[in-house]
Amino acid sequence: MTKSFLKPHIKTALAILWFAFTFSLVGWWWVYFLLKLSPENASLEQMRTSHRMFAWEGSILLAAILFGGIALVIFTYRDQKRHQRLRFFFSTFSHDIKTSIARLRLQAEVLEEDLNTTSHPVMKRLIQDIQRLDLQLENSLLLANLEAGQLLKEQVSLSDLLSSLRSEFSELTVELEREAKILGDRRALLSVLRNLLQNSVLHGKATTVKIRVRPHGEGHIELVIQDDGLGFKGILKKLGSEILMSQDVRSNGIGLLLTKRLLEKMNGDIWFESKENEGFKSHIELEGTLP
C-alpha cells in the first residue's frame, strides 16, 4: 500500500503547533539574553554592544517567525478549504455523470429491444462501451477517495454478488463452484469482481469464468477465478502494483490497481497466474467462511 498523505486539518494543526513552539522558543531565548546582558548588570562596553546586537537581531528574528508563521497558517487553511471545495465539486460532478451514463445505458437497452436488434454488433458494442465508461468512472472515484473513505465490514453472499453482475456480463458464463460468506464491504467486493470479469472479457476475450472456493487458514477463504481467455503476456508482478503504460486505450491497469488496494483495506490480498492460451487466473484471499 502507498502511504497516505496527511489530511488537511492535520496539516493545519501541525502548522499551528510548529508556529507556537518556534515562536515561544525564540521568544524565550531573546528575553533570556536581554535580561542576562541588561545594561544594569553590565560593566563593559562589550556587554552593552552585545545587548544591542541581541535586541536588534532577536526582534528581527521574532518578526520574521511571526509573519512567516501567520502566513503558513493562512495558506494551510486556504489549502484545506480549497481541498474541501474540490471534493464537493467532484462528488457532485461524478453523481451527475453517473446518472447520465445510467440513463444513456437504459435508453440504449430500450432501443435494442424496440428495434429487435439483439444480435446487431453496433448496438452490442454501444452497450459494452457504456458499461466500460461507467466502470472506469467508478474506478477513478473509488481510487481517488480510497485513503479518506471507510469500508464497511458486513457478511456478504458470494452468489448474491455474482447475481448482481450477471446482467452486466451477459456474454460471459460465470460458474460458481460453491457458496461462501465473505466479510467485507459490499460495494468494494462488487468493484473487485466487476473489474476481474471485465478484464477477462475485454483483454482475454473469455467466454467462461469458473470460480472455485476453498478454505485458506482460520477465518479466511481463497477464491480462484479462472477464465478461458487468451491469458496475459506481460510481467505478472506489475499487475495491481502500478498504473501501466499501455498502448491499449481501453485500459491502463487502474482496475487491477484498485482491486488490490480494496482487498488490502479489507485485510485481503490478490495474486495472479497466467500462461499464454491457457487463460488468466486470479487468487483472492479474504476474510470469510464456507457454509
In this structure, what CATH number is given to the domain that contains residue 273? Answer: 3.30.565.10
Instruction: Say whether both 157 and 290 belong to one domain.
Output: yes
Bridge partners of 183?
155
Distance of CA 148 to the CA centre of its chain: 8
Residues shown for the chain: 291
Taking the C-alpha atoms of residue 104 and residue 109, their distance in angstroms, rounded to an integer, is: 9
Read off the pTM: 0.62
Q: What is the DSSP letter of 171?
A: T
Taking the C-alpha atoms of residue 32 and residue 45, their distance in angstroms, rounded to an integer, is: 19
Alpha helices, H only, the chain: 8-36, 45-114, 121-144, 158-166, 186-202, 254-265
Instruction: Say whether both 117 and 182 belong to one domain.
Output: no
When divided into structural domains, the chain yields a total of: 2
Instruction: Say whether both 107 and 238 belong to one domain.
Output: no
Instruction: Say whether both 275 and 197 belong to one domain.
Output: yes
Taking the C-alpha atoms of residue 109 and residue 10, their distance in angstroms, rounded to an integer, is: 48
248 compared with 219, residue with greater pLDDT: 219
Whether the CB-CB separation of 58 and 26 falls below 8 Å is answered with: yes
Least confident of 90-94, 150-154, 285-289: 90-94
Whether the CB-CB separation of 261 and 251 falls below 8 Å is answered with: no
What does the pLDDT look like over 117-131, one tens digit per residue? 555 677 767 776 777
Instruction: Say whether both 80 and 214 belong to one domain.
Output: no
Most confident of 29-38, 71-80, 242-251: 71-80
Instruction: Say whether both 211 and 170 belong to one domain.
Output: yes
Instruction: Say whether both 124 and 173 belong to one domain.
Output: no
Instruction: Say whether both 135 and 51 belong to one domain.
Output: yes
CB atoms within 10 A of CB 253: 19
Q: How confident is the model at residue 115 (pLDDT cuts 50, 70, 90)?
A: low
The pair phi, psi for residue 256, each rounded to 5°, is -70, -35
Instruction: Say whether both 189 and 124 belong to one domain.
Output: no
Domain that holds residue 26: 1-149
